[in-house]
Amino acid sequence: MQLVLDANEYIFGLGFFKKESCEHLVKFLIDKNPLHSISICRTIVEEVRVNLTLKEFHNFVKFINVFTTIEEDFFIPFEIGVRYEAKGLKEADALIAAFTEWVGADALVTENRHFLVHHSDLPFKVLTAGDCLKLI
Which pLDDT does position 119 carry in this prediction? 75
Judge whether residue 84 has pLDDT over 80.
yes
E strands along the chain, which residues? 2-5, 37-41, 70-71, 107-109, 125-127
- Cα 127 to chain centroid, rounded: 10
Give the pLDDT band of residue 114 (cuts 50, 70, 90): low
Is pLDDT of 33 > 90? no
Question: Number of structural domains, the chain?
Answer: 1
Integer Cα distance of 100 and 63 in angstroms: 19
| Helices and strands (DSSP H and E) totals, the chain | 7, 5
**Across the chain, what does the average pLDDT equal?**
92
Longest CA pairwise span in the chain (Å) = 40
- Could you tell me the CATH number of the domain that includes residue 103? 3.40.50.1010
Q: For residue 22, give its domain range.
A: 2-135
b/e string for 28-54 if b means 16 or more Cβ within 10 A? bbeeeeeebebbbbbbbbebbeebbee
Question: For residue 112, what pLDDT band results from cuts at 50, 70 and 90?
Answer: confident
Q: Name the DSSP class of 117.
A: G
